[in-house]
Amino acid sequence: MPGKTDYECKFCGNKKQVESSDSDTPECCRKPMIKAEPLPVCETSTTAEHSRADDMGEPCDDGRAGS
């Protein structure tokens, strides 16, 4: 069963998901799109008791997406 690969346009930010079995790289803005890197897993707590002053709040995968 083939998986899906996420691509992102580095010029306009457009995102596209294609079957991994496709050998062609999708294009956007007349340029090939690049593979999107998955978000890292969140390692900090969301509760006030465990928050850190030096945490910049970078985006991360908190497990609620279901994938």
Range of the domain at 22: 4-38
User: Could you give the C-alpha distances from 48 to 53, 59, 61, in angstroms and in order?
Assistant: 11, 18, 19
Q: How many domains does the structure of the chain reveal?
A: 1
Q: Would you say residue 9 lies in a domain?
A: yes
User: Which pLDDT does position 50 carry in this prediction?
Assistant: 62
Contact 4, 19 (CB under 8 A): yes
Tens-place pLDDT, residues 40-56: 777 666 666 666 666 66
The pTM of the whole model exceeds 0.75: no
User: Which pLDDT does position 30 carry in this prediction?
Assistant: 92
**Residue 15's CATH number:** 2.20.28
- Looking at the chain, the whole-number percentage of residues with pLDDT higher than 70 is 57
Q: Would you say residue 11 lies in a domain?
A: yes
Q: Confidence band (pLDDT; 50, 70, 90) for 28?
A: very high
Q: Would you say residue 52 lies in a domain?
A: no
Contact 7, 31 (CB under 8 A): no
